[in-house]
Every structure is written in C-alpha cells, then in structure tokens.
Amino acid sequence: MLNTIHLQTFLAVVETGSYSAAAERLHLSQPAVSSHIRALEAQLDQVRLFRRVGQQMLPTQAGEELIAMARDMLELATQAEERIRSLGGQVSGRVTLGCTPSGAEVLLSRVLQAFHERHPSVSLSVTVALPDMLLEQLSRQHIHIAFIEEKQSPRNWVVQLLGSEPLVLIAPRDHEMAHRGLVTPDALRQAPVIMPRNGCATRRVIDEGLRASGLTPADVHVVLETDSATVALEAVCSGIGLAFVPQSFVMRHTDVSIIPVELSLYQEWFALRSREHTMSRAVQETFAFLTGEDVRAILSRAGIRSPLESKALGKTPKMERKR
C-alpha cells in the first residue's frame, strides 16, 4: 500500500520543481526527500517518477499519471481522519488560504486569530499571489479558499462578497498636500503616483474614477506600478510618489497621511472556493466562518462595508463621485 507521507513528498517535488525546495516546504532534509521518492518508486516496481531537466525535476509519464491519484488519495486520507475526529465534535485538518498582495493579506490577518479561537485544531497555511495565480491554484486544489478583489463566474466558483472599502490617496506626513484640506482631482495632474499594475481590478477602479472626474490616466505621472500594497506604502514613505491603497491597510500606519480628494473609489473583496471539488469538513467550516457574521463584524470595524450595508445604499459601489 502506498505511503501517504511518500505521496505528500512526491506532490511537493511536483509543485516546487526540486528536491531542495520540497524539503524546505516539508521541513525535511533533502536526503529525506530523496529517500521518500526512492521508496515510492520501489513500491511501484522501480518505475522512475522524475527526470532532471536543467535545474528542475519534472515528472515522467508515470509521474504525470500519479499526480491526480496521489491528490485524491491524500484528500481521502485527510477526510477519513477529519471524519473520525469529528465524531468527538472536533473539527481538524489543514486548510490552505490564498490572498493577493494588494491588501487582502491585511484583511485576512484580521480574522485569523478569531478563527483559531473557534477552531484551534485546524491548521492554516497562507500563500500570497496575484489573482490569476490564485485561481490557477484553486483549480488545481493547491489552495482551498482565495481572497481576491474581483468577482469571478459562479459557474466555476462559489463566490461570496465580503464587502467593500474605500481606496484612499496617501502621501508622506510632511507632504504639502497633507495640509491643503480637500483637494480636487485636478490637483493630481502630473503628480507622481504609484499605481497597481495596468489591467488589474484595482487599477480599473482608479482609472474609471479619474475618467469620471475629467482626468485621463495619462494625466497623472505613474512613477511605479506594483501589486503589493506594502511596496506602495514603503515607496510613499520614501517620497517616490502618492498612492491609492485600501483604507484598512493604512489604519495603523502613522507615518503617512490620507489626502482627502474629491474622488470616492471602492475596492471590493471576495472569498472563493471551488464548486467542482469535494470539500473536507475543515474547508467547509473555514469557508463558513470566513464568510459569516463574526468575520463581517471584524471587517466592519476595519472600515469594510458589508454587502447588506452596500445594498442599503442601492448597490455595492465600485466608484462614486462625491457631490
């Protein structure tokens, strides 16, 4: 019978492309990883599972055949363990979450403590990547739940709107705009601005807001594009330019100022899970918690408007113009 530890090691090599990276992920030594792979190949009549191509270990044809079955076997083993433990009323298991670097990591960090208090036996893992990569990882079951800032088709995913929050313009505390009071969008003409990458959801919201105010995206001087709210914040503190970031991201940062500007831009946050794949009890409970009332209260305190609050105003706003 195939050993689940060997299968887990096999998948780690597949996903990382090397024994050393797999060892780091699994907190093992590289010789231990090699030993697990050799033992698995021995159980399969010495069929080779990997071939070296340059610096990468790529699966052979036999390895490719094993990938999906290995994932299914590990999932079944996990479900069996969780089901037996749940007979005693305990939810346990491992859940992998994915979030974007544009502020979702801050949003997620606000709720992890509350989740741990509710389900102390569930082990969480968090990966940070761009939305396209997170969707790919969801489809491959590398992660179980994703937090992104753009709604996706409900045909492929279970999509839950968590809420929306303002995008605010920030500058260093000593910036001259910090002392002007309310500024007009026209004040941003040729101002050095740090933007999310062109084409992403947040950038589209900003560009739409600028156009609605009579500016074109070309009217501002984009000095840096980054998907990381952390990089944008550091660049602002370094004096590189101004930046639009989610309001919740800057609530605890005292070294920047929010510039009040006659633009009202809103960032939406969504939680996604696969519609096609069977969920373990741990994943079910995690998704239910993260999209439930307790988390909505936490997010509300962080300034993230719930879907019900948005509905009371007519609709969830992506961009509103202050009058």
255-295 residue pLDDT tens: 899 999 998 899 899 999 988 777 788 898 899 999 998 88
The whole-angstrom separation of Cα 213 and Cα 215 is 6
| pLDDT tier at 37, thresholds 50, 70, 90 | very high
Structural domain contains residue 53:
yes
What is residue 313's predicted lDDT score, i.e. its pLDDT? 46
The residue among 58, 86, 114 that closes a domain is 86
pLDDT of residue 44 exceeding 90: yes
Structural domain contains residue 157:
yes
Determine phi and psi for 281, rounding to 5 degrees: -60, -40
* Greater model confidence, 26 or 75: 26
pLDDT of residue 315 exceeding 60: no
Closest-CA residue to 12 (of 82, 59, 65): 59
3-state secondary structure of 123: strand
Structural domain contains residue 322:
no
Structural domain contains residue 117:
yes
Same domain, residue pair 129 and 177? no
Same domain, residue pair 178 and 102? no
Same domain, residue pair 221 and 176? yes
The CATH number of whichever domain residue 154 belongs to comes to 3.40.190.10
Same domain, residue pair 157 and 172? no
* Spatial contact of 108 and 98, defined as CB atoms under 8 Å apart: no
The whole-angstrom separation of Cα 317 and Cα 323 is 15
Q: Is the dihedral of CA 151, 155, 156, 158 positive or negative?
A: positive
- The total of structural domains in the chain comes to 3
Same domain, residue pair 296 and 148? yes
What is residue 320's predicted lDDT score, i.e. its pLDDT? 38
| Average pLDDT of the chain to the nearest whole number | 86
Structural domain contains residue 320:
no
The residue among 64, 86, 108 that closes a domain is 86
Structural domain contains residue 74:
yes
Same domain, residue pair 109 and 174? no
Same domain, residue pair 182 and 261? yes
209-231 residue pLDDT tens: 999 999 888 899 999 999 898 89
The residue among 57, 86, 115 that closes a domain is 86
The CATH number of whichever domain residue 224 belongs to comes to 3.40.190.290
Structural domain contains residue 323:
no
Quick one: which H or E segment has residue 114? helix 104-118
Structural domain contains residue 114:
yes
Same domain, residue pair 22 and 70? yes
Same domain, residue pair 255 and 284? no
Instruction: Look up the domain containing 182 and give its range.
Output: 165-267
Same domain, residue pair 185 and 304? no
Same domain, residue pair 219 and 282? no
Give the residue ranges of DSSP H helices in 140-278.
201-212, 229-237, 247-250
Same domain, residue pair 46 and 114? no
The CATH number of whichever domain residue 8 belongs to comes to 1.10.10.10
